[in-house]
C-alpha cells in the first residue's frame, strides 16, 4: 500500500476544507466520505441522490453506512429527468450533469465550497462519458488526483474496517436497458428485484439486462455450471418469471461492465 498516495489524499481534502461528498454508497465514495470524516476539522456533508433508477437497497446502505460511522449525511430526491427517458447514448453525461447541478445547488445553499466524488485512477481507462460533465462543472475527484487505484481503495477500506471493502460494483439500473429504449419504473423495479434475488442465491455481481420481455443474465464464468443446473436453474426461471419476465437467458460471455456500451454493442 502506497502511504504517499494516502498522505496526498489527506492533503487534498485538507486544502479543500469545506465540501459535499457525492455519496453513492459504493466502494470508492464510501472510502472517500469516511476518509474526509476521519481527517477532522473539515466541513463535510455526504449527499446521496435518490432517483428511480438507483436501487433502494443502495440508498439504504448509504444511509446505514453514514449512521454507523457518525458521518453527516442527507438524501436528496430527484424525479426521473425527461432528458434520459428514452435512455440516449449520452445518458451518463446528461445524468451526471443533472445530478451534480443538483449537488451544486445544495452546496451553494448550505455553505459548502466544493463538491467531490469518487472517481479513481482506473476509471479513466473505461468508457465513462459522465467524466466530461464532472470536468465542465468543476467537480473534484480526490481519489483520482491522488493516483489511487481500485485495488488500493479496497485494501485500505478493509484495513479501516469498512463493510464496503469487498462490495461488488453497482452501476445504475439504466445500464441494464438498451440505448434508445423508453424507460419506465416498472421495468426498473423488475431488474432490481431480479438482481436482488440472484445476489441472495449467491450470484454476487450478476446483472440482468433487459430485451423486451427477455432477461439476459450476466454472471461470473465460475457460476455458469451452477446456474444452468437444477435446482438453481428451475428456481431462477420460476422466480424471474414471477417478477414479470417471459424469457430467461444466460449470456455465455459472462459479466462485463457496460455490455450495452458502443464498443460492446451487439451486431
Residue pLDDT, tens place only, 101-116? 999 999 999 999 999 9
- Examine the fold and report which residue of 159, 187, 213 is the final residue of a domain before the chain moves on: 159
Tell me what the pLDDT averaged over the chain comes to: 93
Where is pLDDT greater, at 253 or 267?
Answer: 253
Domain assignment present for 164: no
- Supply the DSSP symbol for 38: H
* 212 and 132 within one domain: no
Assess whether 75 and 130 both reside in one domain. Answer: yes
Query: Which cell is 237 given?
Result: 426461471
Residues 69, 71, 72: CA angle, nearest 5 degrees: 160
The answer to whether residues 94 and 218 belong to one domain is no
Q: How confident is the model at residue 30 (pLDDT cuts 50, 70, 90)?
A: very high
Banded pLDDT at 258 (limits 50, 70, 90): low
Buried residues in 11-42 as b, exposed as e (16+ CB within 10 A): ebbeebeebbbbbbbbbbbbbbbbbbbeeeee
CATH number, domain containing residue 52: 3.40.50.620
Distance of CA 245 to the CA centre of its chain: 24
Residues 110, 196, single domain; the answer is no
Say how many CA atoms lie within 13 Å of 172 toward its Cβ. Answer: 19
Q: What is the mean pLDDT of residues 187-198?
A: 96
| Domain match, 116 and 218 both | no
Whether 266 has a pLDDT exceeding 50, the answer reads: no
Mean pLDDT of the region 35-41: 95
For the domain that residue 207 is a member of, what is the CATH number? 3.30.70
Of the three residues 129, 159, 189, the one that is the final residue of a domain is 159
Contacts of the segment 5-8: beta carbons below 8 A, 24+ positions apart: 5/146, 5/147, 5/148, 5/152, 6/146, 6/148, 6/156, 8/145, 8/146, 8/147
Mean pLDDT of the 52-78 span: 96
User: Which residue stretches of the chain are H helix?
Assistant: 3-16, 27-39, 56-68, 91-109, 130-137, 142-145, 150-159, 185-200, 224-227, 232-243
Q: Compute the distance between CA of residue 120 and CA of residue 241 in angstroms, rounded to an integer.
A: 38
Q: What is the pTM of this model?
A: 0.89
Report helix angle 232-243 to 185-200, nearest 10.
160
Q: How many residues does the chain have?
A: 267
- Host domain of residue 111: 3-159
Same domain, 60 and 142: yes
- Work out the pLDDT band at 169, boundaries 50, 70, 90: confident
- What is the pLDDT averaged over residues 56-63? 95
For residues 7 and 139, membership in a common domain is answered with: yes
pLDDT-above-90 percentage for the chain: 87
For position 123, what pLDDT does the model report? 85
> Last residue of some domain: 159, 193, 226?
159
pLDDT at 23 over 90: yes
- Residue 168 falls within a domain, yes or no? no
Angle CA 143–261–23, to nearest 5: 30
Confirm whether 39 is domain-assigned.
yes
Q: Is residue 251 part of a domain?
A: yes
Q: Is the pLDDT assigned to residue 157 strictly greater than 70?
A: yes
Nearest-angstrom CA–CA distance, 193 and 92 = 23
What does the pLDDT read at residue 236?
98
Band of pLDDT at residue 170, cut at 50, 70 and 90: confident
The answer to whether residues 20 and 106 touch, using CB atoms and an 8 Å cutoff, is yes
**For the chain, how many structural domains are there in total?**
2
Least confident of 152-156, 175-179, 242-246, 262-266: 262-266
Judged against a pLDDT cut of 90, whether residue 264 lies above it is answered with no
Amino acid at each position: 500500500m502506497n502511504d504517499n498516495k494516502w498522505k496526498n489524499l489527506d492533503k487534498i481534502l485538507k486544502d479543500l476544507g469545506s465540501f459535499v461528498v457525492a455519496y453513492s454508497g459504493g466502494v470508492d465514495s464510501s472510502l472517500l466520505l469516511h476518509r474526509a470524516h476521519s481527517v477532522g476539522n473539515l466541513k463535510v456533508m455526504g449527499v446521496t441522490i435518490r432517483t428511480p433508477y438507483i436501487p433502494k437497497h443502495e440508498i439504504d446502505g448509504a444511509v446505514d453506512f453514514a449512521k454507523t460511522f457518525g458521518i453527516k449525511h442527507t438524501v436528496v430526491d430527484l424525479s426521473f429527468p425527461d432528458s434520459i427517458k428514452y435512455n440516449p447514448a449520452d445518458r451518463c453525461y446528461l445524468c451526471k450533469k443533472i445530478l451534480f447541478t443538483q449537488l451544486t445547488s445544495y452546496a451553494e445553499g448550505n455553505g459548502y465550497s466544493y463538491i467531490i466524488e469518487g472517481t479513481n485512477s482506473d476509471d479513466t481507462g473505461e468508457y465513462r462519458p459522465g467524466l466530461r460533465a464532472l470536468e465542465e462543472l468543476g467537480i473534484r475527484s480526490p481519489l483520482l488526483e491522488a493516483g489511487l487505484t481500485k485495488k488500493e481503495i479496497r485494501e485500505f477500506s478493509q484495513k479501516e474496517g469498512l463493510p464496503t471493502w469487498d462490495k461488488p460494483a453497482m452501476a445504475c439500473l439504466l445500464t441494464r436497458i438498451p440505448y434508445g429504449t423508453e424507460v419506465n419504473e416498472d421495468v426498473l423495479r423488475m431488474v432490481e428485484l431480479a438482481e436482488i434475488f440472484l445476489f441472495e442465491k449467491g450470484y454476487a455481481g450478476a446483472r440482468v439486462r433487459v430485451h423486451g420481455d427477455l432477461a439476459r443474465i450476466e454472471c461470473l464464468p465460475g457460476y455458469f455450471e451452477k446456474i444452468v443446473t437444477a435446482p438453481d436453474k428451475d428456481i431462477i426461471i420460476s422466480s424471474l418469471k414471477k417478477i414479470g419476465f417471459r424469457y430467461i437467458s444466460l449470456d455465455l460471455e459472462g459479466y462485463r461492465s457496460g455490455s450495452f456500451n458502443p464498443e460492446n454493442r451487439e451486431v
